[in-house]
Amino acid sequence: MGGSIVSRRTSTGLLVLMVFGLVLAMTGTAMAATSWKKVTPSAKFVKYAAHAKKHGMQAWYPSRLPSGYKLSSMKLGDTGSSGPYCDIVFKKSSKRIYVSQGTIVGADGEMPEPSGQLAWGTQRADVFSSGLIFWMGANNGFANLWGKGTTAAQRQTVAKYMKKVR
């Protein structure tokens, strides 16, 4: 009748493992967990955070990033009466993680409907089908996160690791 139930289950299990290994070999995609490193905001960002606080805004910075990502650029500015803004780019070869924050002033139109919510530090943020993660706070303050060459899981984990900088 084709062997015992135990040997058929063992054969099926081995077949599943072999197919899984073949898929990994063919796609070149490892499904191993991403390793993460702790990061701290620069003195320049801490100064921005103090300025943002004077405008009633919160400043956010990730406390962890996927290993290999480094701060590539940080653009700080002030729109005058509406407050400061900050655009940050973390880079690993051609991959990017973007974090922008500031104040929404005079925005026309409506935002698309979010596809869900996720953790943004200790708070909640909207996630959109485009991959954009958007947090909205008091005084029209906002922060968002998106990426190029990153996975949704990586972006969602970075969002989870966002911390308020005081």
Average pLDDT over every residue of 86-94: 97
Going from N- to C-terminal start, the domains of the chain cover 1-32, 36-165
CB neighbour list of residue 159: distance below 8 Å, 6 or more residues apart: 118, 119, 120, 121, 125, 133, 135, 145
pLDDT recorded at residue 4: 45
Does domain 36-165 correspond to CATH entry 3.30.200.100?
yes
Model confidence pLDDT, tens digit, residues 127-155? 998 899 999 987 778 999 999 999 999 99
pLDDT recorded at residue 68: 96
Task: Show the CA angle centred on residue 46, arms to residues 147 and 93, nearest 5°.
Answer: 30
Average pLDDT over every residue of 82-110: 87
